[in-house]
Amino acid sequence: MNECYYDKRMDFFYNKTKTDTADEWTGPQLIVVLCFGTFFCLFIFISNSLVIAAVVKNKRFHFPFYYLLANLAAADFFAGIAYVFLMFNTGPVSKTLTVNRWFLRQGLLDTSLTASLVNLLVIAVERHMSIMRMKIHSNLTKKRVTFLIISIWAIAIFMGAVPTLGWNCLCDITVCSSLAPIYSRSYLVFWSVLNLVVFFIMVVVYIRIYMYVQRKTNVLSSHTSGSISRRKTPVKLMKTVMTVLGAFVVCWTPGLVVLLLDGLNCTYCGIQNVKRWFLLLALLNSVMNPIIYSYKDDEMWATMKRMIFCSSEDKSQDRRSSRIPSTVLCRSTDTSGHYTEDGIIQGTICGKGDLGNKGNS
């Protein structure tokens, strides 16, 4: 029967796996990482809080898509908390941690990744439901959206706790990984492959939806009159979502590949030299998302700006700029299911009563 080492500190496991990065994380390199990490975390907290507040405050965002977008911002906010905890428990401090504290450190990171990933997957399903039915927003009720959000966090917390629940190497140190000295290599393979497969599935789904939208938009444009902007509105909405997904995949894939190589016990891949920078790249994703929301959606940017400058009213805004018009859309009263754009196309503005009714749908 194998001996278990629950009472050991992390220096025991770092020495057993010959991980030498804890002592090297010092000097100018550590200062640079901590400075960038601190700045990014502050920006994450402020910007994602503004996104969540904007969705709550502006009734034009009271749709399933934007509720899920706010939940994605909450996942990014949680990622900021995980990185702050990591910064105070990394470097030379790593070897002094107890097993439970190290599990907490990594579990927070795994939970934040899973929350973002599952949230993007749910958004993909929501977009598929709405776009394939030629609607801007799906018919999900607030209760169902609330259930989905709770389910997302339940899955994320469970996945973050899996190693703590038993899938670790505390009782068999021969299978310990190098990057995560108390994680089993088999778990790293499972974790990285699962996430990479979900990445691939979501990319395929969004590409399919995007191609469908473009095809339907081109067909409708030959039979309907109206501005070019109105016809391209669904495409612009999909570009926003695909930009968020693309940034997520680009920022997280290198780190997952490194974990996969470590799980496969690749001793000649030099993974120890790049893991810090790939971690910062993953952190950068939580910084990019609020920028993408505000740049792609004029209504989101206007709401955030009003909150920043404490402006109570902004009745007339000239949003005719080079940026993409708002993705906040109204459903056409025409039963043919054509897309119409809210308030920006030729000065047509949705009535307040109509918006209130849709917010309750």
Write phi, then psi, for 223 (nearest 5 degrees): -115, -5
CATH code where residue 162 lies: 1.20.1070.10
What average pLDDT does the segment 134-157 reach? Answer: 85
Most confident of 4-8, 183-187, 347-351: 183-187
3-state SS of the chain: helix, strand, coil percent to 5?
Answer: 70, 5, 25
Residue 357 lies in a domain: no
pLDDT at 22 over 80: no
Please count the CA atoms within 13 angstroms of the CA of 18 that sit on its side-chain side. 3
Give the three-class secondary structure for 325. coil
User: What pLDDT is stored for residue 194 in this prediction?
Assistant: 93
Residue 112 carries which side chain, given as an amino acid letter? Answer: S
Segment holding 313, helix H or strand E: none
* Residue, of 272 and 361, whose pLDDT is higher: 272
pLDDT at 286 over 80: yes
Q: pLDDT for 46-84, tens place per residue?
A: 999 999 999 998 888 888 888 998 999 999 999 999 989
Give the CA dihedral 119, 124, 126, 128, nearest 10 degrees. -170
User: What pLDDT is stored for residue 263 in this prediction?
Assistant: 87
Residue 193 lies in a domain: yes
What average pLDDT does the segment 274-284 reach? Answer: 81
Residue 1 lies in a domain: no
Residue 243 lies in a domain: yes
Residue 108 lies in a domain: yes
Q: pLDDT for 232-268, tens place per residue?
A: 555 566 677 778 888 888 888 888 898 888 888 887 7
pLDDT at 214 over 90: no
Residue 140 lies in a domain: yes
Please count the CA atoms within 13 angstroms of the CA of 320 that sit on its side-chain side. 5
Q: Structurally, how many domains does the chain consist of?
A: 1
Q: pLDDT for 312-346, tens place per residue?
A: 444 444 444 334 444 443 433 333 333 333 333 33
Instruction: Write down the mean pLDDT value for the chain.
Output: 76
Tell me the residue range of the domain where 77 lies.
Answer: 10-14+25-222+234-309
